[in-house]
């Protein structure tokens, strides 16, 4: 059983304007590196209908987004979340990639998957676009696992350097989902203190200061992994943000590319014990192109080695 990469050329049509850190070159950099690896299975997103979005976002919000896509030029959904004509398909295909990845694992086509998508999703709340995110891809994946496959325990592990405020918002009162986030704090988006725990103690925030290095990060990660293990998830989704790399221009963690191999290995070890290795990882942040390409390659290598 192999690892699948789910991606679509439509992600390149999501134009965010000149000089925006969240731009098409990111997916291009990730894919260029992964194409060298001949063991990977390449998959396209599933075609999805609005009802897949409606399990997570409100119908009014979906209507607002779908009426906002401009026929030409750019439109700002918030100060830094920009959409263009091509964003309409890109946003749908980002979600469709997660759905294809989940279905592929459930149908035993491959053992695990990485979705190389954009726009990212973890800042998008039920009713709000923010922080480059429009639909919350990982949250829709978790809801889909619960509704379509009847899972009762889905874990989301988010190692993006920013707090997963959108994912937390969506699952704050949902005991079927354990959300764990490591992030720089205090920092954008402002949330993510360890006092935010969710109604069922189902949110685990691990705030860390600017300057956190590899060893400090891996020590803190262990705390999250204990929670993950105790939860005994039936499926694990990863919000894979590589902006915790030392070279990232948007944040101040000091992780090295190889750390993403180690982080992934440790999450996978728990997935083996609790859910037979069922893991779908979804690209979130990462804004230095070299660091992003290297780190995502380390991440995928760990997924590939797992058996
Ligand atoms: Zn981020």
Q: Is 123 a residue of the active site?
A: yes
Q: Alpha carbon of 88 to those of 71, 131, 134, 176: distances in Å?
A: 10, 17, 10, 30
pLDDT at 275: 97
CB-hemisphere CA count at 13 Å for 306? 28
State residue 18 phi and psi, 5-degree precision. Answer: -65, 135
Please, are residues 176 and 151 in contact by the beta-carbon 8 Å criterion?
yes
Q: How far is the CA of 1 from the centre of ligand 1 (A)?
A: 31
pLDDT at 1: 80
The β-bridge partners of 171 are none
- For tokens 């619960």, the residue is 146
CB atoms within 10 A of CB 150: 8
Please, are residues 240 and 167 in contact by the beta-carbon 8 Å criterion?
no
**Nearest Cα to Cα of residue 10 among 67, 82, 93:** 93
pLDDT at 58: 97
Q: How far is the CA of 168 from the centre of ligand 1 (A)?
A: 15
Which residue in the list 122, 123, 163, 183 is annotated as catalytic? Answer: 123
Q: What gap in Å lies between CA 84 and CA 26, rounded to an integer? A: 17
Structure tokens that stand for 124 in this block: 């998008």
Q: Alpha carbon of 153 to those of 101, 104, 178, 202, 237: distances in Å?
A: 18, 19, 7, 11, 11
Q: How far is the CA of 131 from the centre of ligand 1 (A)?
A: 8
Q: Alpha carbon of 164 to those of 58, 152, 160, 198, 274: distances in Å?
A: 19, 21, 8, 13, 24
**307 residues of the chain, pLDDT tens digit each:** 899 999 999 999 999 999 999 999 999 999 999 999 999 999 999 999 999 999 999 999 999 999 999 999 999 999 999 999 999 999 999 999 999 999 999 999 999 999 999 999 999 999 999 999 999 999 999 999 999 999 999 999 999 999 999 999 999 999 999 999 999 999 999 999 999 999 999 999 999 999 999 999 999 999 999 999 999 999 999 999 999 999 999 999 999 999 999 999 999 999 999 999 999 999 999 999 999 999 999 999 999 998 8
Q: How far is the CA of 291 from the centre of ligand 1 (A)?
A: 14
């Amino acid at each position: 059983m192999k690892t699948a990469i789910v991606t679509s050329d439509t992600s390149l049509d999501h134009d965010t304007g000149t000089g925006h850190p969240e731009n098409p070159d990111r997916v291009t950099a990730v894919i260029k590196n992964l194409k060298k690896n001949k063991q990977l299975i390449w998959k396209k997103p599933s075609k999805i209908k609005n009802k897949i979005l409606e399990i997570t976002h409100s119908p009014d919000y979906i209507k607002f987004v779908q009426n906002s896509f401009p026929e030409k030029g750019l439109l700002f959904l918030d100060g830094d979340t920009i959409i263009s004509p091509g964003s309409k398909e890109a946003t749908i295909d980002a979600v469709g990639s997660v759905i294809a990845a989940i279905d592929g694992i459930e149908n035993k086509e491959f053992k695990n998957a990485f979705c190389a998508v954009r726009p990212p999703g973890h800042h998008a709340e039920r009713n709000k676009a923010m922080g480059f995110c429009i639909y919350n891809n990982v949250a829709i994946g978790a809801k889909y696992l619960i509704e379509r496959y009847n899972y009762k325990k889905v874990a989301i592990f988010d190692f993006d350097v920013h707090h997963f405020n959108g994912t937390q918002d969506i699952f704050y009162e949902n005991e079927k989902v354990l959300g764990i986030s490591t992030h720089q704090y205090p920092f954008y988006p402002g949330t993510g203190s360890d006092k935010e725990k969710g109604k069922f103690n189902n949110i685990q925030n691990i705030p860390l200061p600017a300057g956190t290095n590899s060893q400090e990060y891996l020590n803190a990660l262990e705390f999250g992994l204990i929670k993950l293990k105790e939860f005994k998830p039936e499926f694990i989704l990863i919000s894979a943000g590589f902006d915790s790399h030392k070279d990232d221009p948007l944040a101040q963690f000091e992780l090295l590319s190889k750390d993403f191999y180690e982080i992934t290995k440790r999450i996978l070890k728990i997935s083996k014990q609790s859910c037979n290795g069922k893991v779908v990882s979804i690209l979130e942040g990462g804004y230095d192109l070299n660091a992003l390409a290297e780190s995502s390659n380390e991440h995928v290598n760990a997924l590939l080695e797992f058996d």
